[in-house]
Structure 1
Amino acid sequence: MYSILIVDDERFERDGVKFLIDKYGLALEIAEAASGEEALQYIAEHPIDILLTDIRMREMDGLQLAEQVRSLRPSAKIIFLSAYGEFEYAQKAIHLQAIQYILKPVDVTDFLDVLMKAMQMLQEEERAQQSLRQESQKSIQWEKHRILADLLRSGGDAGALTDGDPRHALLPWHQVLPNGDLSGERRYRMMMLDTRQRFFDSADPEFERSLTEWLPYPSSIINMNEYQSLILLEVEADEPAERFGELGREIMAWFKAQSRQEISVIVSEAFGDAEGMRDEYRKVEAILESKFFYEEGGVRLTATLAEQPVDTQSIEQTLEEINELIERGEFGLVRTRFEALFDHLKNSDRFSVIYVKYICSEIVRSILKSTKTKDLDFFKQSLETIYKTAVLKDLRGVMTAIFEAYGAQLTPASPSQPPESVHKVVADVIQIIEREYRSELSVELIAERVYLTPSYLSHLFAKQTGLSLIKYLTMHRLAKAKALLQETNRKIIDISHDVGYSNFPYFCTLFKNYYGKTPTQIREGNLP
C-alpha cells in the first residue's frame, strides 16, 4: 500500500480529501499535517510516496515544502492543490516536477484521475526497480561463475585474477568466496547441488538470498549451469566431515520444500588455498561423472573417493562362481550371488560404468551358452538393454528379470518393437532440437520423447557426435541467434526469447563466451 501525506492549514480541506480517498476505496495509507513545518518533521521520520499540498499556507508555503521534499524524497509524487491559478505558481510547480496542479474547487473525477496516475507511476517505477535488481543479480551470478572458472584454471595466485584485470572490475573478489581470502588462513568447503531437471538458470534471485540466509555458515552461491549450483562455505578447520554430510541432507530437504525437486549433494573436504580448491573441485567432477552408481537424492563426500583401491580380482572371482552356477542351472543361487555383487557395487565409483555393464553382458552370454535353445534375438536385445541403462538400480532390475525368466524355464518373448539403433536415436534427437529449439527443451524432455533415460541418452549422444547433448543444443541455439542478429533488425532481447532463452543476461553471457563477441558487436559487423 502506498502512503500519502495531505498538507493544508485548513482542517476541512484535509477532511474533504480524506473523505474522497475513503469513499472511492483508494488503497492509500493517509497521514496529514497542518503546516509545512509539521509536514517536514513527519517526512524526516516516515517515508512517503505522494505529497498532496496546498500552496498558500502561513509561514512555509507549499512550494517551499515541495522543494525540500524533492531533496529528501526524490521519488515522491507531488500534487499541488490551490485556489489560485497564477502563472508564477504553475511555473514553479513545473520546475519542481509536480505531476499535477489542481485548482479548487476540485472536480472529483479529475482529482481521482490524478491520484490514480500517481499510483500507477509508483507501480511502474517499482516494477522497473525490481526488474533492474533481478537483472543485476543475474549478471553478478554469471560474473561470479566466470571468476570461479578463472581461479580453477589459474596457477594458484588468487590475487592475479583481480589486480589490473578490467574484466573483474565489476565484482570484488569477496563475492566469490564468503570472505575473499585464499591465503590459507581461512578454511572452506564446497557443496555441489546437482538436479536432473533444469532449474538454476531460471531460479529467482530470491532463491539464492533465501538459501544464503538459511545456511548456518558464511557462504557464496555460484550457479554453474542449468542443473548444478556450487556453494562455498567458510568453515572451522576442525569440524568433522559428518557435520557436512548432515548439512547436505538438510539442504536436500530444504530444496525439495522450496522447489519440489530432488537434488544430490556432493561435499568436498576443507581447503585453504587455490590449489586445494582445484583438487577438491576435480574430485567433485569425478563424482558427477559417476552418477550411474548412485541413487538420486543422496549425499556424497569427496573424502570417500580414495578410501579403497579398485579390487577387480574379487569381482572376477565372483563372476566365475556365477558362471559355474549357471552351468549347473542353479538360477536361484545365481540371483543370490548376483545381488551380493551389486550390493558391493552400490554407491561405489571405484569401477567404471563400462566395466560393470561388461560383467552383466558376460553373465547373459553364459546363460545363452547354457540353454538348449539359443535365442540369439533375446541375447542381442538383452545386451542392448544392459547398455541403455542409466543407473545401477535399473541395471539390477534388467538382470533380475533375465534370471527370473530363465529360472522359471520360460522362453522370453521378444518385444513387439525392437529398440532403435544408436544412429536412429541420435538422428531423432537432432530433429527434435532443430524443430523445437525455441521451446524450453531439456535433456529430460528429449529423453522422454525417445524413450531413454536422460543419463543414457547423454552418453549415447556424446559417443556418437563427440558433443554433450546440452552443448549441441546450446550451439544450435546460438547459431540461430547469430543468423537472426546478422539478417534481421529485431531486438536482441526478442531474439534471445526466440532461440529458447528467457533469461536475457544468461543468453548474452553464453553468446559472448562462445563467439568472443557480444550480440551487439556481432550485429554491428564485428564477425568472429
Structure 2
Amino acid sequence: MYNVLVADDEPRHRRGIADMIKKLRPEYRIFMVKDGLEALSIIEDNRIDIILTDIRMPNMDGLTLIEHMAARKKPVKIVILSVYGNFDYARQALKLGAFDYLLKPLEAKSLSEILDKLDVALEKDRLSFQDGANLRRKLNSAVPVYEQHLLSRWLRGSSSEEELLEIRNLFPFLSGGFVMLATFHKREIAEIYTPQDFEELKVSFKSWMREIHQMPGPLLSFNLEGEDPVIGTLVSTAESLEWMMTRDREQFEQFIHQVRAEFGLTLTLGVGNWVADLYNEAPQSFEEARKALEYVFYEGAGRLVFYDEIAYNPEKPSLRMVSAGTGIAEALARLDRDKAARNLDVLIQKLTEGDYPAPAHLKDCVLYALVNEVKGSEAILRHEEASNFISEMEFQIPACESLEEVRTRAVHYLHRIIESIEQRKDNKSGRIINLCRTYLEEHYMEDLSLEFVAKQFFFSPTYFSSFFKQHTTMTFTEYLLRLRMDKAKELLQDGEQKISGIALSVGFRDAGYFTRVFKRETGFLNGQRKGKIIFRRSLIIWLFLRTNFRQSFHK
C-alpha cells in the first residue's frame, strides 16, 4: 500500500483526481491539499510515496514543491499535472526530478497507465534497497544470516523439531541463562545514519556488549530478524540475575549514556528472567525481554529495564472506551480546548490504572476515541476534511513511541478539530446572516415579527434573537426599523408620494404612527402640503445620512 498526496487548488479537480485514484487503487491512502505549503505540512508528519501536483497554485506552486522535495532528499515520486499551454513548465519539472507529467483534464486511462508505471518504479526501488540491505547484513553480521534466521524463529517459539536439533548442534554451549534485547530510536537512526553506516555500528555494538557483560559464560549477539533495529543477546550463565541487577546496573547505565553522547542514539535494554534451560525456555525469557522494551513506552526510553521490576500487563484489555464516557465530545461541542485536553487525560488515566496495558492497546483506544469525535463532527466538518483527519490519525497515533507522544499528538488533533469546527461555524453563521438580511430586504414591507422570521430559518425565537444581535450588533427590531426608515428616505426623495402610501410601502399600517417614528428616528420630517410630505432638508444631507446608515448597517 502506498500513500498518495494530491495537490490542486481547485477543490473539484482535487476531489475528482482522488476519487479516480481510489477506484483504480482502493488500497492506497490518499491525502488532499490545496497548495505546496499544505503539502509540506502533510509530508512532515506522513510518509508519502507519490505526489500528484498541479503546477500553478497559490502560496507555493508545483515547481517550488519539487525543489523542496529535492532538497529534503525524500524518496518520493512526483507527477506534474499540466494543461496543454504549460509544456515548458512540465519540461522544467522533469529537469528538477519529477517522475512524469499528466495532461489536464485528466482521463482515467492516462491515470491508470501512470499508476502502473509508478508501481513498477516503486517496487524496483524497494527491491534495490532490500538487496543492498541484505548484502550489507551478510557482510557485517557477526552471526551468519541463516543462523540469525534460526535463532529468531527459536526465540519466537516457531522452530520445528529439526531446527531445534540444529540449534543444539550449532550452539552446544548453551545451558541456563536469559535473553537481553537492545533497541534504538528509529527516528534518530534515520536522521543521523545511512543504512550502511548503521549496519556497521550494530556490528561494533555486538562486540561492545561482549566486553560490558564480562559474564562467567558464553554470550551470543545477533540481529533479530524482522524487528530491525533490535539486537538480541543470549547470555548463558549459571548465575541468577541478582548480581547483574546490583553489581552491573550502573555499568550498563553508563554504557547507555555513552552511546547517547558519542553516537547520538537512544539505547534501551530489556532483560528477561533467568531460565534453567535455554534450549526449551529461551522463548519465555525472550517474551519477557520484549515486554520490558515495550514498558519504556510509559517510563521513557534510554534505560535498562528488567522484566521483574515492571508493573505491566500486556493482556489487559484496551477497554475501547468511547469518547462520550470521558467528556471529550462535550468539550468539542463547546469548543473548549483546555477541557478537551483534560478529558483526554481522564481517558488515559483510566487506561493506565493498575498495571499498564500493551502500548498497542492504549494507542488503539485513543485512536478509537479520536476517530469517533471526527465522525461525530462530520455534520459540521467537510467530508474531505474529516476523511483527511482520520487518515492522518490512523497513521500517526499507532506510530507514537511514548505515552507522552500519544498525548501530544492527540491534543494536537483535538485542537485542529476545534479550529475546523470554529471556521465552519463562522462561515455557516455568515451565510445564515446574509440570508436573513436578504430575506428582510425582500419582505420588510410585510408584517414581520421575530418569531415569524426565526421560524423561517428553523431557529427558536430566543436563540435567533441572540444569534442575530451577535452578528449584526443590533436587535432584530432595531435592524428591521432601520431598514424600513432607510427605504422610507429613498421614497421621500421625490417629494411626490403621500405619507400614507409610503407608510404602507415600508410596512406601517398607520400613517400617523409612521410619521412619529420617522421623526423620532431621523428628526428630518417637517410640514405637509396638499397631503404630500415636503422634504425640508437638502439632498446632500439625505445622501450623507443614507451612505453612513448603509455602512453601519452592513458592518
Q: Which range, TM-score by smaller chain?
A: 0.3 to 0.5
Larger Rg: 2
TM-score, reference length from structure 1: 0.40
TM-score, reference length from structure 2: 0.38
